[in-house]
Amino acid sequence: MTEKNVDAIDTVRLGEAGPETGVQGLGCMGMSFAYGPSDVDESRATLERALELGVTLYDTADAYGAGENERFLSPFFKAHRDEVVIATKFALAIPPDDPTRRVIRNDAPYIRDAVEASLKRLDVDVIDLYYMHRRDVNVPIEETVGTMAELVREGKVKHLGLSEVTGDELRAAQAVHPIAAVQSEWSLFSRDIEAGVVPAARELGVALVPYSPLGRGFLAGAFANADKDLTAGDFRRQQPRFTGENATANAALLEPVRAVAEAHGISLGQVALAWVQQRARVHGLPVVPIPGTRRRGRVEENVAATRIVLGEEDLALLEPIAAEVAGDRYADMAFSSAGRE
């Protein structure tokens, strides 16, 4: 057992039927995928430090480095099997004729293959939280969730989650099997889910797991312009809001974030994380953000944000930001819930 800090972060239940986790999780994607080279030893130390601080929800997906991220996390998960909640995802298939492409698959044969492959790579008997990563509109969601529910009955998966679904899709899914959590982008820069998905989640007793709560690092000041600051293969160079004139315009939107940070003596990233965490009170549902980091110092900084409460004046200053962001969160918004709402 890991020696826990006496002041480990608070815990919350992920949806009415879900597991209990720390109020902040850890996004592990960047350790193997999408955000440039990683230091393997520092990533491992980050996982251990997060656990010491009370972080128990660890987020990965089969698509992160074509299985590489799940393989990387496996020794950590096995060493702490009873202390961690393992969350992984299926749906982004690699077509046999072109390993560089991804196609969305939500059909039963694909899901059955995907879960076996994830269990094997993770080298565990059961996945604690299994998400549909993206929605394939050619397969009725009732059918997809029906297959996921069979995995629960068979003991391969404990709880179900959905990523980037609309409010209506969530309602249809919940009618088939309890959904513990919806994972979607939610941050000072990305608030589209507040229109349909968040009210549906609150109504149904489903938790929200905000991904990219730091705006993929932009809100924390980790980079200002993806073209100039990030390496060639970095995914953020494909995201319209982080490149060219949009990046310049969006950097100016950080002024109120900076003002709030200075007023409280905290970092920009902590303002962004405290704001997301406070959505739980504002909207009345469990919220467990999963900021991604590969560095111990940053996980400490991020976890500390769970204890920061922003005042009404701070919230008012931050309120207008999202509506002014230039550029979409993805180059093709059809893959996001907002593209279908």
Ligand X SMILES: NC(=O)c1ccc[n+]([C@@H]2O[C@H](COP(=O)([O-])OP(=O)(O)OC[C@H]3O[C@@H](n4cnc5c(N)ncnc54)[C@H](OP(=O)(O)O)[C@@H]3O)[C@@H](O)[C@H]2O)c1
Contact pattern from residue 124 through residue 143 relative to ligand X, giving x for each residue in contact according to CB under 6 A and a dash for the rest? ---------x----------
Q: Which long-range contacts (CB under 8 A, 24 or more apart) does 235-242 make?
A: 235/34, 235/35, 236/34, 236/35, 238/331, 239/327, 239/329, 239/330, 239/331, 240/327, 240/328, 240/330, 240/331, 241/189, 241/325, 241/326, 241/327, 241/328, 241/329, 242/216, 242/218, 242/327
Which stretches does DSSP call E strand in 19-102?
20-22, 26-27, 57-59, 85-90, 92-93
Q: Among 50, 111, 119, 214, indicate the residue that binds ligand X (CB under 6 A).
A: 214
Under the binding rule (CB under 6 A), the answer on residue 294 touching ligand X is: yes
Stretch in the footprint of ligand X (CB under 6 A) among 76-84, 174-182, 240-248, 291-299? 291-299
- Decide if residue 241 touches ligand X (CB under 6 A): no
Q: Could you give phi then psi for residue 290, rounded to 5 degrees? A: -125, 65
Interacting span for ligand X (CB under 6 A) from 29-37, 73-81, 240-248, 321-329: 29-37
- CA dist., res. 311 & res. 262, Å (int): 14
- Which of 35, 76, 130, 189 binds ligand X (CB under 6 A)? It is 35
Under the binding rule (CB under 6 A), the answer on residue 216 touching ligand X is yes
Place of tokens 């980091």: 293
Active site residue 211: no
Q: State the nearest-atom distance from the C-beta of 21 to ligand X, in Å.
A: 14
Both tokens assigned to 227: 């073209």
Measured from the CB atom, is 67 or 215 closer to ligand X?
Answer: 215
CB of 116 to ligand X, least distance (A): 21
In the bound state with ligand X, the residue whose beta carbon lies nearer, of 246 and 267, is 267
Residue among 64, 110, 131, 211 flagged as catalytic: 64
**With binding defined as CB under 6 A, does residue 217 bind ligand X?**
yes
211 binds ligand X (CB under 6 A): yes
- 30 binds ligand X, rule: CB under 6 A: yes
- Exactly one of 28, 93, 111, 226 binds ligand X (CB under 6 A); which one? 28
First to last CA, the chain: 44
- CA 301, 304, 306: angle at the middle one, nearest 5? 130
Binding-site member from 213, 247, 266, 275 for ligand X (CB under 6 A): 213
The closest of 58, 24, 56, 6 to 269, measured between CA atoms, is: 24
Provide φ and ψ at 161, rounded to 5°. -140, 165
Residues that bind ligand X (CB under 6 A): 27-30, 35, 59, 133, 163-164, 183, 211-217, 220, 222, 269, 290-295, 298, 301-302
Residues labelled catalytic:
64
